[in-house]
Amino acid sequence: MAEWQGFGYRALTAAGESEQGSVQASDQAGAVALLQKRG
């Protein structure tokens, strides 16, 4: 869970400097990477 929170924090930080669309894409990529890591 801590890893996922780290992804979310980075996404929120990026939201201040980047477009929300790319932030959502990067957050999705993080979720996929985490699922692959666990699987």
Task: Take residue 30 and report the two structure tokens written for it.
Answer: 């993080």
- Distance separating alpha carbons of residues 16 and 11, to the nearest angstrom: 9
* Amino acid letter for position 13: T
| pLDDT score, position 5 | 61
**Could you tell me the CA-to-CA distances from 31 to 10, 14 in Å, in that order?**
13, 16
> Residue 2: pLDDT above 70?
no
- Distance separating alpha carbons of residues 28 and 11, to the nearest angstrom: 10
> Residue 4: pLDDT above 70?
no
| pLDDT score, position 13 | 67
Domain ranges of the chain: 5-38
